[in-house]
Structure 1
Amino acid sequence: MKDEEDRPTLPDLADLWQETMNWQPEAGQHAQFQSFYELILESNRQLNLTRITEPSEFWEKHLWDSLRGISRLLPSPPSLFRAIDIGTGAGIPGVPVAIVRPDWEVTLLDSTRKKISFVQSAVDTLKLENIKTAVDRVEQIGHDRHHREQYDLGLIRAVATASVCAEYTLPLLKVGGLAILYRGQWTDEEAQGLAVAVEQLGGTIEATDAFVTPLTHSTRHCIYLRKIATTSTMFPRTIGIPTQDPL
């Protein structure tokens, strides 16, 4: 075991949290972020969970970026509701979200069993009782009555094109629910294509949030989709079809 002083340590950066989100994590939440970071580093060689391992880069690209997407929901009063992180991988953005919103029930979904096994182990170590994990394809659970139209919030990051992400998320949301698509660059052409897809899925583009990351000053976008009508039972289409033939 490494000595305490040899452990990579995440920067605190409370002022940056406050400046960029009008919010900052409590000491206990920061400690959980640190423990989560260490668990990822320990398992990363075997599982290839992330290429982002340097402390400041991890803080910005995994923790800050994850929470920037839900920043408009962070200061809100506690309200028990259900969120799902689709294609969670190493548990991002779902684990950071669950840490800062312990009143939410967060489901972490991935089709790779080894990744979900890691995430479940991390969840157990961190004692995050508000997290559930699932190994499955989103095209399948989108037709499962335990998941279809059962969620208030859908998170999807670095998974596929925006229209495919919409087809994955909107069938899982209740009417009135919100999907957050985490994107890098964003073009008018992509926006037009997404609008066409979202209309077929019972949704609308509520907002497009462009922002710059606080350390590397990279441009990022979060696209917010509001579900306004029940999604047709033809969606999501069968495994592989959404990516092969986007709406």
Structure 2
Amino acid sequence: MAYQLDKFEKGLKDLQIELSDEQVQQFLTYYEKLVETNKVMNLTAITEFEEVVEKHFLDSLSLVKVCDLSKEIRILDLGSGAGFPGIPLKIAFPELEIVLADSLNKRINFLQDVIEELDLKKITAVHARAEELARNKEYREGFDLCVSRAVANLSTLSEYCMPFVKIGGNFISYKSGEIDEEVLNAKHAIFLLGGKTKEVFKFDLYEQKRSFVIIEKTKGTPKAYPRKAGTPSKQPLG
């Protein structure tokens, strides 16, 4: 099938990302697999090609605005869902080591199929809740960077994500819309979890207002966090 790639090519150029023909083909194969699987499983409400390019592919890759992805760093994509941002980042920057984590097993099966079909290396998909995974020594404080596009308030997301970040590493939350009040409300939680907000980077992606909240891990996260399953979302740290 022929795709209109103008928007994708322009978006990549704006982000100063160069892809080989093979990498572009990987994105197209990923798109086809996403749309096909979406017919039998709810992965995304967005299925039209140009919208997926804008709201999933380019949005995921926008991380280059705030992060040097040419380095060989270990990244956790928490609550990866259909693979965003982890799979686009992996396709565009093959040297990254990425772990995709999601609490729904059928999404993990989809992600494993994508990894296999695209022949991606140094990337794994793990079925687990954040609360359980954070108790695993292999993962706790084992990542240079944790990213999440999950829809949750910043206090809750920080409790899920910060335990995975090495001291000196970062948690970067993908956010949309007006974010200042949410960042302010999460300040105490972030401090409790061993972090500090380094930067809130705001940008426009076509008609969308987007932000990255960059939180640096300055000291170890206390063992009590994250609290037991469900608590971080029901009772965010104040």
TM interval, short-chain normalised: over 0.9
Structure 1 distance, partners of 2:62, 2:167, is 24
Q: Percent identity?
A: 33
Contact 1:32 1:126 in 2 (8 A): yes
Is 1:34–2:28 an aligned residue pair? yes
Structure 1 distance, partners of 2:17, 2:170, is 21
Following superposition, the deviation at residue 71 of structure 1 comes to: 3.1
Q: TM-score, normalised by structure 2?
A: 0.94
Q: Which residue of 2 aligns with 1:71?
A: 65
**Moved beyond 6 Å, runs of 4+:** none
Residue of structure 2 aligned with 1:245, choices 232, 235, 238 = 235
Runs (5+) with no aligned partner, structure 1: none
Structure 1 distance, partners of 2:18, 2:71, is 19
Following superposition, the deviation at residue 96 of structure 1 comes to: 0.4
Runs (5+) with no aligned partner, structure 2: none
Residue of structure 1 aligned with 2:18, choices 18, 21, 24 = 24
Structure 2 distance, partners of 1:225, 1:12, is 34
**What is the root-mean-square deviation in Å for CA atoms of aligned residues?**
1.5
Contact 2:80 2:150 in 1 (8 A): no
Contact 1:178 1:226 in 2 (8 A): yes
Structure 1 distance, partners of 2:151, 2:133, is 16
Q: Which residue of 1 aligns with 2:37?
A: 43
Matching of residues 1-247 of structure 1 within 5 Å: 4=1, 9=3, 11-13=5-7, 14-19=9-14, 21-74=15-68, 78-214=70-206, 217-247=207-237
Q: TM-score, normalised by structure 1?
A: 0.91
Aligned residues: 236
Contact 2:179 2:211 in 1 (8 A): no
Structure 2 distance, partners of 1:234, 1:10, is 50
CA distances 1:59-103 after superposition (whole Å, capped 9, x unpaired): 0100000011233335x5x43221111111111111001111211
Amino acid at match of 1:137: R
Structure 1 distance, partners of 2:11, 2:85, is 19
Amino acid at match of 1:23: I
Contact 1:155 1:179 in 2 (8 A): yes
SS class of match (1:149): coil
Out of 108-117 and 10-19, give the one that drifted further: 10-19
CA distances 1:18-42 after superposition (whole Å, capped 9, x unpaired): 22x2333332221111110011011
> Cα gap change, 1:27/1:71 in structure 2, threshold over 3 Å: closer, same or farther?
farther
